[in-house]
């Protein structure tokens, strides 16, 4: 343990320190976890919320479904949830957007306490026509050091982005410092550890980042060399790191390589590692649908000492329920095997009609591919922000 850890630990007996920490609100505990390893271990060991394994939220254009292992998926319904699509989730709070309602607000909610808070749209969207892709222009973020929640909006054409800090009254614009660029919405947007990443259209692959702490927009360099090849790619999250899923199609199967950004030692440039190879066999029946990686969360979260995470996929299929036939997306998880060719350090997944993987959930929907997010329940109140806005939803 570092010297700083010992000094903090000597101030109070451990049992007294435990009693003090457990009386603090969840928002404070998240910040105090960063003080030292002793405090982090105490908070992680003695608080229920920190020990909870994330559940999965699956969202379509106008529905949100909660997926718990071993249970049927359940749709969130009722006032505030019907017709909504999920923008993101941070520490148990969720951010939602209604792309079906012109000039409808953004809603922040705590599903456990039932509290909701409405936020007006950023200026560029107040007179623009909403589309099903409008939800993909937002990111919901949490800064662990300050304990502040923020919503980021990236317009399709941008030389600045818009930022809303929960607890303040108005949106602020943040200049990118670059000429106007076009947000490549097909590549997705990923929010990881105080950073938001998205792609920009152009002749060459380009990814930019927004730093929640400095509020600075910068290009991500270098990118994996695989992006210079012919194929398609998406941004994904893998174990709390930025990943790129690069896919190429063949006659009988599609192959996806997942490359993950790993920061080098201080003063060294970032590097990209080849984590997974995923081979998805094309169905012989041309009417059947093929597996696709779930986005932006494509992997389950295991304990830190687990070498392999499960890979998550979805495919549209028909299913039986109550003697009737329905259509929807079926979610699967797949256990990677060792890569005998030593190309992918976290393994290979091969998906076929004979081995579809373990079924996780069925999401009844007729919409295009749903999106997935990790979710942990919390009792953290939203009511502390009502004084700023005047009233809840």
What share of the chain has pLDDT > 90, as a percent? 36
Give the mean pLDDT of 288-312: 74
Give the mean pLDDT of 130-144: 85
Query: Are β-strands 115-119 and 138-143 bridged in parallel, bridged antiparallel, or unpaired?
Result: unpaired
- Residue with the larger pLDDT of the pair 249 and 305: 249
Give the mean pLDDT of 84-101: 87
- Residue with the larger pLDDT of the pair 367 and 216: 216
The strand order across the sheet containing 271-281 reads 232-238, 241-249, 253-262, 271-281, 348-351
Q: Mean pLDDT across the chain, nearest whole number?
A: 82
334 close to 349: Cβ distance less than 8 angstroms: yes
pLDDT-based confidence at 11, cuts 50/70/90? low
Distances (CA, A) of 316 to 64, 261, 331, 367: 17, 31, 9, 10
| Range 39-49 burial, b when 16+ CB lie within 10 A, else e | bbebbeeebeb
188 close to 234: Cβ distance less than 8 angstroms: yes
Q: State the helix-helix crossing angle for 37-46 and 14-21, rounded to 10 degrees.
A: 60
Instruction: Tell me what pLDDT residue 54 has.
Output: 80
101 close to 110: Cβ distance less than 8 angstroms: no
Give the pair of three-digit tokens for residue 162.
């818009």
Alpha-carbon span 60 to 67, nearest angstrom = 14
Burial of 75 (0-12, 13-18, 19+ CB in 10 A): middle
Residues forming a β-bridge with 101: none
Beta-carbon contacts of 118 under 8 Å, excluding residues fewer than 6 positions away, are: 105, 106, 107, 108, 389, 392, 393
* Displacement of CA 27 from its chain's centroid (Å): 20
Query: Are β-strands 157-158 and 148-153 bridged in parallel, bridged antiparallel, or unpaired?
Result: unpaired
Residue 4 has pLDDT above 60, yes or no: no
Give the mean pLDDT of 127-142: 84
Residue owning tokens 């939220």: 57
Residue 217 has pLDDT above 90, yes or no: yes
């Amino acid at each position: 343990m570092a010297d700083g850890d010992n000094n903090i630990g000597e101030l109070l007996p451990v049992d007294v320190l435990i009693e003090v920490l457990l009386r603090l609100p969840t928002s404070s505990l998240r910040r105090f976890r960063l003080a030292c390893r002793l405090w982090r271990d105490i908070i992680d060991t003695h608080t229920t919320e920190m020990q909870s394994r994330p559940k999965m939220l699956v969202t379509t254009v106008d529905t949100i479904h909660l997926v718990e292992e071993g249970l049927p998926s359940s749709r969130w319904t009722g006032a505030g949830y019907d017709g909504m699509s999920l923008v993101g989730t941070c520490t148990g709070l969720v951010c939602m957007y209604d792309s079906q309602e012109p000039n409808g607000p953004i809603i922040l909610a705590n599903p456990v306490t039932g509290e909701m808070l409405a936020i007006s749209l950023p200026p560029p969207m107040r007179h623009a026509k909403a589309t099903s892709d409008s939800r993909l222009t937002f990111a919901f973020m949490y800064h662990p050091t300050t304990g502040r929640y923020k919503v980021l909006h990236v317009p399709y054409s941008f030389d600045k982005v818009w930022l809303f800090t929960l607890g303040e009254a108005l949106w602020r614009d943040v200049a990118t410092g670059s000429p106007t660029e076009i947000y490549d919405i097909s590549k997705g947007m990923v929010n990881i550890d105080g950073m938001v990443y998205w792609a920009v259209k152009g002749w060459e692959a380009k990814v930019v980042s927004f730093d929640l702490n400095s509020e600075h927009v910068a290009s991500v360099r270098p990118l994996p060399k695989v992006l210079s090849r012919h194929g398609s790619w998406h941004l994904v999250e893998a174990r709390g790191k930025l990943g790129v899923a690069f896919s190429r199609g063949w006659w009988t199967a599609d192959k996806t390589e997942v490359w993950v950004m790993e920061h080098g030692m201080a003063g060294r440039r970032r590097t990209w590692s080849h984590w997974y190879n995923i081979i998805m066999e094309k169905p012989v029946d041309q009417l059947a649908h093929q597996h696709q990686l779930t986005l932006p969360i494509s992997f389950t979260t295991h304990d830190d000492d687990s070498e392999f995470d499960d890979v998550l996929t979805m495919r549209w299929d028909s299913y039986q329920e109550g003697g009737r036939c329905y259509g929807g997306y079926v979610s699967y998880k797949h256990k990677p095997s060792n890569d005998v060719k030593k190309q992918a350090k976290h393994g290979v997944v091969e998906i076929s009609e004979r081995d579809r993987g373990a079924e996780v959930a069925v999401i009844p929907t007729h919409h295009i591919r749903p999106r997935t997010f990790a979710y942990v329940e919390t009792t953290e109140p939203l009511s502390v922000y009502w004084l700023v806005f005047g009233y809840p939803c």
